[in-house]
Structure 1
Amino acid sequence: MANREALRELQTRLASRLQAAKAEGSNVSSWLAVETAGERYLLPLGHAGEIFPWNGVQAVPYTHPWFLGVANLRGSLMGVVDLGGLAGTAVARTEQSLADSSLLAMNPALEVNSALLVDRLLGLRGTDAFVSSEPPAEGAPEFFGTRYTDGQGALWQELNLQAMAQSQAFLSIGV
């Protein structure tokens, strides 16, 4: 119950920060920052949808390990993808670690009924939060965008969720 309240509080804070930035006419942050499988990712706000607490999924046989199954999220049946596993950094998940995770639904405009499992929501970020950038690593998935480094030296990988939703790797869940 406390996990749901904390998630609700985070969503309220994010929404109020976005509204305040729009009202001031300032440059609105362009990414939702998340962490999963020990990696940090930047997800475009325009591609992200609603955030849900982990509530379990119904497993689907004969799928890749990163496809966790399907979940009923506010009346919509959505495929649940372990973002870390899809990005190539699979980790062993326990019920305890999953209890602290969140599901980030992809924006309905992307026309995929999918949600991404993320370990932690880290708030909003704009380009001003980073000190340097570089192109994606050689051989990176096609949905990887620019890599950024923040002031503490942490590396952040931008993801293009629209490109991900259209990629063959994402769409081919069967083994």
Structure 2
Amino acid sequence: MPSKDALRELQLRLANRLQAARERPREAGWLAVECAQLGLLLPLAQAGEIHAARQVAPVPHAKPWMVGVANLRGQLNAVVDLSQFLHLRDMATQAAPRSGAQLVMLNPSLRVNAAILVDRLAGLRDSEQLERLPASDEPRPGFAGPSWRDPQGRVWQELDLAALAQDPQFLDVAA
């Protein structure tokens, strides 16, 4: 199964680069992910381990974006479908797991046992690779950081995972 091997190899490369990036001092560093084709930047200092999105046990009476819990390294973590939480994807499309979906745990220092479900990993980014865009006047949630543009012209939205982990809507999972 070449696709499984390729996915494992990608996960291993990203994990090694993530560890190396954490050990190197940088101005800013992010894990780039995609949710419903939107590019998101997750701060490396706030992101935790990456796991394949499998064996998520559903939780009754939870909001639709709270897809369940997963046992990750012996610890139960709430799993939030980030694209649904951000209203990027219709709640009805959640039923089947998406191909290539990954779980990104929140860093244990945030003291929230949670992982976010993302559609795809897109590698690592740093501020040297990106141009910060001027702030917009649009209302944005408190966990939305600045927007950035890469050399190919793609816009990336930074998310503050620490602020997300304390957001009242994120913490209110009961239906």
TM range (shorter): 0.7 to 0.9
Partner Cα separation in structure 2 for residue 21 and residue 100 of structure 1: 23
Q: Which residue of 1 aligns with 2:85?
A: 86
Q: Which residue of 1 aligns with 2:102?
A: 102
Q: Which residue of 2 aligns with 1:126?
A: 126
Give the match's secondary structure for 2:70: strand
Give the match's secondary structure for 2:139: coil
Scaled by the length of structure 1, the TM-score of the pair is 0.85
Q: Which residue of 2 aligns with 1:58?
A: 57
Q: Which residue of 2 aligns with 1:37?
A: 36
Partner Cα separation in structure 2 for residue 46 and residue 22 of structure 1: 7
Matched, 1:161 2:123: no
Scaled by the length of structure 2, the TM-score of the pair is 0.85
Partner Cα separation in structure 1 for residue 35 and residue 22 of structure 2: 29
Gaps of at least 5 residues in structure 1 are none
Shift of 1:99: 4.0
CA separation of 1:67 and 1:18: change in aligned 2, threshold 3 A: closer
Matched, 1:149 2:149: yes
Q: How many residues align?
A: 173
- Whichever structure has more helix as a proportion of its residues is 1
Partner Cα separation in structure 2 for residue 9 and residue 57 of structure 1: 23
Partner Cα separation in structure 2 for residue 6 and residue 153 of structure 1: 27
Identity across the alignment (%): 45
RMSD over aligned CA atoms reads: 2.5
